[in-house]
């Protein structure tokens, strides 16, 4: 795909970013997520140490960084799947630190996983229906009163079928999810997260292990999500993908935010290039710098 053009409505998300400075911890016009001093360490290793981060509502924000930069840990911490050692964060103005994973999802922030978690022995449609929020038949005693939830179930089924059609999975609705290919599972996971009616989706490497043809359709789904008003925060490795669809990019290295900005800002940011390729990689005397050389070995 071309690395500059944004598919779909090109300027929609970027306009929202017009007020933001391309600097670490910069303020956004209307942040949906605001995090302060988030820290998580494993033993002696500080995996995440983010001073200040804001995510603009209605945009696609990419979280990038070399392996081990702490992207997934930050994801886990923000979504309640891991405990932070310190820090506060709010989502849509509500305090979210210390909230359990399922409550985070109930309040509009839904995540996917790097290794897809399709519920393999449930059918595709059951996967979708499970995610619908506020089901009356989901309570133990409610389950016995079929008349109370059959109407709701039918409405959910209709919405699930619409979403499946949009993600071109409707032909597979009665197959068990375990029979889907890797790429189809990614699509299912994304469609399933939309069943929760989230204000923000957090996609952990949505393109990993997906064939190039499907990458294109996944990208279109992500941009159309944004165009419908859902905020997207995603972790990804493929630079073409990131530069192509992101409205804003946050670069993480060794647990810290080292740069933020529009794709063009990031592309020319020396610190980012250093973090990815090792410092001074273009300079002839690179091998001479002792500790810089060590860092270089640690990078991919």
**Which residues of this protein are in contact with another protein, per CB under 8 A?**
79, 81, 100-103, 105-106, 110-113, 117-122, 126-127, 129-133, 135-140, 142-144, 146, 149, 153, 176, 178-179, 192-193, 195-196
Describe the crossing of helices 212-227 and 182-195 by its angle, rounded to 10 degrees: 10
User: Rounded to an integer, what distance in angstroms lies between the CA atom of residue 213 and that of residue 233?
Assistant: 22
Q: How far is the CB of 58 from another protein (least distance, A)?
A: 22
Residue 55 or 195 having the CB closest to another protein: 195
Enter the tokens of residue 14: 């970027």
Q: How far is the CB of 197 from another protein (least distance, A)?
A: 10
Residue 101 or 293 having the CB closest to another protein: 101
Residue 202 or 253 having the CB closest to another protein: 202
Residue 7 or 137 having the CB closest to another protein: 137
Q: How far is the CB of 190 from another protein (least distance, A)?
A: 12
Q: How far is the CB of 112 from another protein (least distance, A)?
A: 7
Determine contact, residues 118/105, Cβ cutoff 8 Å.
Answer: no
Q: How far is the CB of 196 from another protein (least distance, A)?
A: 6
Describe the crossing of helices 146-166 and 182-195 by its angle, rounded to 10 degrees: 130
Residue 95 or 139 having the CB closest to another protein: 139
Residue 191 or 243 having the CB closest to another protein: 191
Q: How far is the CB of 119 from another protein (least distance, A)?
A: 4
């Amino acid at each position: 795909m071309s690395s500059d053009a944004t598919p779909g409505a090109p300027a929609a998300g970027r306009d929202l970013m017009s007020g933001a400075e391309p600097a670490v911890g910069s303020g956004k016009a209307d942040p949906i997520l605001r995090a302060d001093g988030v820290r998580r360490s494993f033993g002696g290793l500080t995996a995440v140490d983010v001073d200040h981060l804001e995510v603009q509502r209605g945009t696609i924000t990419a979280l990038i960084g070399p392996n081990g930069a702490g992207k997934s840990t930050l994801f886990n911490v923000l979504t309640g799947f891991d405990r932070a050692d310190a820090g506060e964060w709010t989502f849509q103005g509500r305090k979210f630190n210390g909230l359990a994973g399922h409550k985070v999802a109930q309040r509009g922030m839904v995540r996917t996983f790097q290794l897809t978690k399709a519920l393999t022995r449930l059918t595709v449609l059951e996967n979708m229906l499970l995610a619908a929020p506020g089901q009356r038949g989901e309570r133990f005693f409610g389950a016995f009163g079929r008349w109370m939830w059959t109407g709701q179930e039918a409405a959910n089924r209709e919405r699930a079928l619409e979403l499946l059609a949009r993600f071109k999975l409707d032909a597979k609705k009665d197959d068990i999810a375990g029979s889907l290919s890797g790429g189809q599972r990614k699509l299912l996971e994304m469609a399933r997260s939309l069943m929760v009616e989230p204000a923000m989706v957090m996609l952990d490497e949505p393109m990993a292990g997906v064939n190039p043809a499907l990458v294109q359709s996944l990208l279109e789904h992500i941009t159309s999500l944004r165009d419908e008003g859902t905020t997207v925060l995603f972790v990804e490795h493929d630079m073409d993908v990131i530069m192509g669809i992101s409205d804003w990019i946050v670069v993480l290295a060794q647990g810290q935010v080292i740069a933020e900005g529009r794709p063009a800002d990031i592309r020319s940011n020396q610190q980012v290039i250093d973090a990815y390729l090792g410092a001074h990689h273009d300079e002839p005397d690179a091998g001479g710098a002792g500790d810089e050389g060590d860092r270089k070995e640690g990078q991919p």
